[in-house]
Structure 1
């Protein structure tokens, strides 16, 4: 249920809807409406941050806003009131008077993959694009993130007394970071596409001399999320995706008896193979990560015990029919693991293209929650951070994770002679409940052999 009707006052409470994927709460990032505003069916009223994504929440009712439940930064549980809407009096020529019919048919809007209505009318509604506390205007359905960043004049004035264009900011994380550091976004220069202000722009501005910064005057929210403690310590609330990461990793350590094994490998042949592939078809390049993903898929075909999870309640091990490959990606919001479903069905070029698209979307924060869950095996390229090895924590409830260190020049013995080769370290962290060392070692050795002799991969695909 996403409605609570108060007949005496003619108001409706729109409850925070079920955001799916086991999410039980969301943090309010920014209200898009204010008390007294008139809203239409499917108008976005608030932006919230869950443990998996930033979500625009549309309201399935039309009317006048009489109450907002919760302030920016407050966490609201699913099923609790989010906004109270009063029915508009009269009707007639009122453009909102038909909202009841549309509610009965289902709003048709999609909340990151989850509808706001309980049924469909068989047609798609055009989703309005809004200016804060202003009357909505029509926009195309399924707007892109860039579309929501169109600058508007909100009445602010610049130093010359004229109207100042609102800054281009897509990410709520960027807005929050600017508030925390006391920066005026309108004074910053965006280096993103179309002048969009990115996190790097905020961080660069905060590192600049204070005289060059235009601080937000008398802003009570300038330090939202950062609370000074004794002796100058700073306390950062464990909320949103940071809290989800902490909870998941803690659960993994509590439940999974993990073991890590590793091996150094000569990746010279793999690099040469990639160069040959890309030289033949430079318009569709293949990354090293895509080749490593292909090798992992080959290993999981031979050792399916690692493509599994332990069902603790049912006291059983479940081996997955398909490989839903997770790729660890560092983003401005923290570490996320987008998933390539049924990756075993993709060609190597398709893997490369899908990997590039998926990781880019993850870093932009545009992946829906469904794309961030359901993995069965994770590939973690921590070598991009310039480290050789790691003992990563398994992405619960998966059973294994392959880590790849940086590829560097090292002395290596080749046919009895010392040579300089491209060497990397591979590590496999696995759940000892699903298999023993023989299976885990066999998988890691197969991966290492394919890295050193890519021709073996061809023989096994």
Structure 2
């Protein structure tokens, strides 16, 4: 028997949105006073984009914690020495690039047919930014080649312009991986929606204090909650766990993140 005769047939992905029934119309005013607010153009576009991604991508979210006592102490010292405003996000960008180099399946996109994986040899990282009436994702290009100060300055500039007059689409396109941070607000974890055509997104929430047993001694540690959503067609659970560990290990050695990332790191698919 030929191999083609026993190979299961993979049905095509359902069309969007024609294959889904419309939401039922409800007259909420029948039940009490209401107020109707029009969604902004940004909210409508982002909402449609996220709904499509959630419907068409099999999402799984892996949760972990990264000890960041060393990263926080190093960040504060560098910010004081260089007299710059340095948040944890630029360090997180560098840690993500480190993990993407080691695990290139995360730095990829499925082609339109869904049967080929396009591996990217560049590192453009998107960072979700809240704007009036919505959410946008500015993309910082070539993050592997930029210093922490350059990343911090570019991120601040893009966020300010996004909240003001807005960003052109070219500055929100071509990303490899997205970071969504709720650390300034709170939370212990969430399920960020993948920013297609990317295959993964990392969400972080507010840091927390944890008591840990280290070499038989109880110690207080500051940890950063990590929530990694990934496309299960491309990435499996063990790889997601390894990716989060790579990010955590990089943050545990923050001084190494300011050095140019080695191009000798393996670029192999597991």
- TM-score by length of structure 2 reads 0.79
| Whole-Å separation in 1 of the counterparts to 2:191 and 2:260 | 28
Q: How does 1:107-146 map to 2 (within 5 A)?
A: none
What's 2:193 paired with?
A: 393
Q: For 2:62, which of 261, 265, 270 is the aligned residue? A: 261
Q: For 1:345, which of 145, 148, 153 is the aligned residue? A: 145
| Larger RCO, structures 1/2 (Cα 8 Å, 6+ apart) | 2
Q: CA RMSD in A?
A: 2.2
Q: For 1:426, which of 226, 230, 243 is the aligned residue? A: 226
Shift in Å, 1:456: 5.5
Q: Could you say what secondary structure the match of 2:64 adopts?
A: strand
Shift in Å, 1:455: 4.8
| Whole-Å separation in 2 of the counterparts to 1:334 and 1:264 | 28
What's 1:364 paired with?
A: 164
Matched, 1:313 2:149: no
Once the two structures are superposed, what CA deviation does each residue of 1:92-132 show, in whole Å capped at 9, x if it has no partner?
A: xxxxxxxxxxxxxxxxxxxxxxxxxxxxxxxxxxxxxxxxx
Q: Could you say what secondary structure the match of 1:232 adopts?
A: coil
Gaps of 5+ in 1: 1-226
What's 1:330 paired with?
A: 130
Once the two structures are superposed, what CA deviation does each residue of 1:29-69 show, in whole Å capped at 9, x if it has no partner?
A: xxxxxxxxxxxxxxxxxxxxxxxxxxxxxxxxxxxxxxxxx
Shift in Å, 1:408: 2.5
What's 1:34 paired with?
A: none
Q: How does 1:31-430 map to 2 (within 5 A)?
A: 229-230=29-30, 231-238=32-39, 240-282=41-83, 284-313=84-113, 315-430=115-230
Shift in Å, 1:238: 4.4
What's 2:15 paired with?
A: none
| Whole-Å separation in 1 of the counterparts to 2:151 and 2:259 | 19
Aligned length: 234
Shift in Å, 1:387: 1.1
- TM-score by length of structure 1 reads 0.48
Structure 1 contact 251–396 (Cα < 8 Å) conserved: no
| Whole-Å separation in 2 of the counterparts to 1:384 and 1:255 | 31
Structure 1 contact 449–456 (Cα < 8 Å) conserved: no
Structure 1 contact 229–235 (Cα < 8 Å) conserved: no
Q: Could you say what secondary structure the match of 1:384 adopts?
A: coil
Over 3 Å counting, the alpha-carbon distance change for 1:330 and 1:377 in structure 2 is: same
More helix by share: 2
| Whole-Å separation in 2 of the counterparts to 1:377 and 1:460 | 19
| Whole-Å separation in 1 of the counterparts to 2:196 and 2:37 | 25
Q: Could you say what secondary structure the match of 2:190 adopts?
A: coil
| Whole-Å separation in 1 of the counterparts to 2:86 and 2:39 | 38
Q: Could you say what secondary structure the match of 1:433 adopts?
A: coil
Once the two structures are superposed, what CA deviation does each residue of 1:272-304 show, in whole Å capped at 9, x if it has no partner?
A: 11022123211x332211111111111111111
Shift in Å, 1:235: 3.1
| Whole-Å separation in 2 of the counterparts to 1:309 and 1:289 | 24
Over 3 Å counting, the alpha-carbon distance change for 1:432 and 1:383 in structure 2 is: same
Q: Could you say what secondary structure the match of 2:55 adopts?
A: helix
Runs of at least 4 residues off by over 6 Å: none
Once the two structures are superposed, what CA deviation does each residue of 1:325-368 show, in whole Å capped at 9, x if it has no partner?
A: 11001111211111112222212221111111111111113311
| Whole-Å separation in 2 of the counterparts to 1:356 and 1:448 | 24
